[in-house]
């Protein structure tokens, strides 16, 4: 019988394969991404997506942070032979003086009860010209035809868990929040760096 993390490993790989090429349009259009050398992939899961990024961008090094130890172990397998370091834990587990010049949070922000705290962490662990790419689902637009009851029930359970953990903002509201924090962060930086 396959273990839970073996199934999740497969799902994450399919998911990455489905949308990786589509997402390249963003990366290609970003000067900040092009010049980035040290990238944090927050909530990296099995690091398969990171591996695909590393394959395409050999000039960059990646740090994957993943709180689920079993997935992080799988990540170590996918990381080889690329410049990918896997850290098991939360953002706080990353060395305090780490300075990233790009942060990817793909399908990970939706897990966070306190996104503002995460954004403040990002501000303090990135360079002054760093970028953040967050990719997340807008569940209010989610539909499946023909019906896939198991998938839909799983999605409903996920939404219940998310609500129970205190995350009630919609994706769109989250974006506005991020904008507000970006303004705060530039204020913070100009105070720190005269």
Ligand X SMILES: C[S@@+](CC[C@H](N)C(=O)[O-])C[C@H]1O[C@@H](n2cnc3c(N)ncnc32)[C@H](O)[C@@H]1O
Positions that interact with ligand X (CB under 6 A): 12, 15-16, 43-45, 49, 65-68, 71, 90, 106-108, 111
* Nearer CB in complex with ligand X: 140/146: 140
Q: Report, in Å, the least distance between residue 84 CB and ligand X.
A: 13
* Nearer CB in complex with ligand X: 16/181: 16
Q: Report, in Å, the least distance between residue 43 CB and ligand X.
A: 3
HEC string of the chain equals CCCHHHHHHHHHHHHHHHHHHHHHHHHHHCHHHHHCCEEEEECCCCCHHHHHHHHHCCCCEEEEEECCHHHHHHHHHHHCCCCEEEEECCHHHCCCCCCEEEEEEECCHHHCCCHHHHHHHHHHCEEEEEEEEEECCCHHHCCCCCCCHHHHHHHHHHHHHHHHCCCCCCHHHHHHHHHHHHHHHHHHHHHHCC
* Nearer CB in complex with ligand X: 38/90: 90
Q: Report, in Å, the least distance between residue 163 CB and ligand X.
A: 16
* Nearer CB in complex with ligand X: 36/75: 75
Q: Report, in Å, the least distance between residue 139 CB and ligand X.
A: 13
* Nearer CB in complex with ligand X: 16/84: 16
Q: Report, in Å, the least distance between residue 52 CB and ligand X.
A: 9
């Amino acid at each position: 019988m396959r273990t839970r993390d073996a199934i999740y490993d497969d799902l994450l790989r399919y998911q990455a394969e489905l949308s990786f090429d589509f997402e390249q349009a963003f990366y290609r259009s970003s000067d900040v991404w092009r010049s980035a050398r040290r990238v944090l992939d927050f909530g990296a899961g099995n690091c398969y997506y990171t591996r695909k990024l590393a394959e395409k961008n050999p000039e960059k090094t990646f740090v994957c942070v993943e709180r689920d130890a079993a997935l992080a172990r799988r990540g170590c397998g996918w990381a080889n032979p690329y410049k990918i370091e896997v850290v098991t834990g939360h953002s706080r587990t990353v060395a305090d003086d780490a300075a990233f010049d790009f942060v990817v949070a793909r399908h990970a922000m939706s897990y966070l009860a306190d996104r503002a705290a995460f954004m403040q962490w990002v501000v303090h662990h990135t360079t002054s010209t760093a970028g953040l790419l967050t990719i997340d689902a807008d569940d209010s637009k989610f539909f499946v035809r023909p019906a896939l009851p198991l998938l839909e029930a799983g999605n409903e359970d996920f939404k219940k868990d998310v609500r129970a953990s205190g995350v009630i903002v919609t994706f769109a509201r989250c974006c506005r929040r991020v904008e507000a924090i970006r303004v705060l962060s530039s204020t913070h930086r100009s105070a720190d760096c005269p």
